[in-house]
Amino acid sequence: MAESLQDLLDRLSPLLVDGSPHAQALGLALDGLGPGRATMRAPYRDDLVGDPETGVLHGGVVTALLDHACGVAAFSGLGARETPATLDLRIDYMRPAQPGKDIIAEAECVRAHGLIAFVRATAHDGDESDPVATAQAAFMVTRPSKEAADRVRTIIAEGKL
């Protein structure tokens, strides 16, 4: 029987964060992964603060978290076969995140077809109805990203993973 998308996602999920040095450097964690959906968390950490006076996390952490969560949702929405590249990412910063709290991003792939995926995401620090930021992004399976996915498949097929 063919492997279901959820089974494939469950098998690949450790790679989607640990395979990215920058996501690891920020301590990003994948809290949930489903067809066309991803929930990711950026931990509150002193070394990620943007304004030492207020202790608020740097906007860049929110940017990277939303980019990564949207990318994972696009990957899933496209059938978990290719890792798409970000074409554009638009972020509205609604309010500063509360010091001491993790930031959670919920990303949903609105439409995926062919090589393109459209994603919407919300980042919050506990209450989804009171977002820190919202984002909208478009992704595409580009030639470099397709070649990279082919290399992963070869590594998996050779049993090195």
Partner 1 sequence: MSDDLIRTLLEAPYVSKFGVRFERRGDELTGVLPYAEHLVGNPLVPALHGGAVGAFMEVVASGALLAAQPLMRLPKPIDVAVDYLRPARPQDVYARAVIGRSGSRVANVRVEAWQNRRDAPVATLHGHFLIKPVPADS
Find the binder of partner 1 among 6, 100, 144, 161 (CB under 8 A).
144
Beta-sheet strands, E only, within 1-132: 29-34, 37-42, 49-51, 56-57, 85-93, 103-113, 116-124
Residue 9 phi/psi, 5° resolution? -65, -45
Find the binder of partner 1 among 30, 38, 66, 73 (CB under 8 A).
66
57 bridge partner residues: 49
Number of residues in contact with partner 1 under rule CB under 8 A: 45
Q: Which residue carries 């990711």 as its tokens?
A: 40
Judged by CB under 8 A, does residue 47 bind partner 1?
yes
Question: Which residue lies nearer to partner 1 by CB, 8 or 85?
Answer: 85
Give the footprint of partner 1 on this chain (CB under 8 A). Answer: 19-25, 46-52, 57-61, 63-68, 71, 83, 85-93, 96, 142, 144-145, 147-149, 151-152
